[in-house]
Amino acid sequence: MTRLSVNINKIATLRNSRGGNIPDVVEAAINCQKFGAEGITIHPRPDERHIKRQDVYDLKPIITTELNIEGYPDEDFLKLVTNVKATQVTLVPDSPDQLTSDHGWDIPANKEFLREVIKRLKEEGIRTSIFVDPESKMIEEANIIGADRIELYTASYAAKYGENPEKAIAPFVTAAKTADMLGLCINAGHDLNLKNLQYFIGMIPSVKEVSIGHALIADALYLGLRNTIREYLECIR
C-alpha cells in the first residue's frame, strides 16, 4: 500500500515570513501524523529559507512514523542526516539557490560521487532514495550504484495530466516497470495533488510512497489539515 509522507516545508516558510514560532513546525508534524500521515518529509536548504537546521533536531524526537530528509548531499547535509538518523534520505541534484527541485539526477555524470554517498548512508542504516526523471536508463543506473529506492519526479505528469492523462502517465508506467523488474522500490513526488494523485497511483500501484507538500498545505488552508490529509489518503486507497 502506498504511504503518504507530508512535506512540511511550506509551514516553515510561513513561520519564517514573520519570525517567531507561528505556525509551529513540530506541532504541525505531530498533527500530520495524528491525522493519518505515514511519514514527514523535510528539505533543509543551505539558506534555511524554510526548514532550519534546528528544526531537523527538534522534529526527530516526535516522529512516530518515518522521517524523510531531502537534499543535495554535500558534507554539511550528510552530517545532519546521519546525526539525526533519518529513516530515509532522498538525494536531489539541487543547487544552493534553487527555488524548488526541477530535474532528476544525471547519474552517469555523478556516478562515483553518488555511489560513495549511498554507501556512507547505508553504513549508518539509512534508507536511500534518488530523485530521477522517468527514464529507464537512469533507473538502471540507480540500481547499479546501490540505491534502495528511486523517487520519480512527477512535475511533467502533473503539467500534462489535464490535457491527456494517458499520455502524461505513459513514461512513468514504463519507468515503474523497469524499477519493478530490478527490484527497486518506487517513491514519487512533485506537483501531485487531489486532482491527479488517484490516477497516478491507480496506474502505478507499486509506488511505495508519495511525498506531497505544496499542494497539500495549500489545500489545508481551505479544508483544514485533518480533512486534507484524509482526502489525500482516500485518493491513494
The catalytic residues are 43, 70, 190
CA distances from 34 to 28, 148, 157, 209, 223 (A): 10, 28, 30, 18, 17
As to burial, measured by CB atoms within 10 angstroms (0-12 exposed, 13-18 middle, 19+ buried), residue 125 is exposed
Helix (H, G, I), strand (E, B) or coil at 41: strand
CA distances from 118 to 30, 38, 123, 227 (A): 29, 24, 9, 37
CA atoms within 13 A on the CB side of 227: 7
**Encoded amino acid at 96, one letter:** P
**Encoded amino acid at 118, one letter:** I
Q: Which residues contact 83 (CB under 8 A, 6 or more apart)?
A: 57
CB 187 within 8 A of CB 129: yes
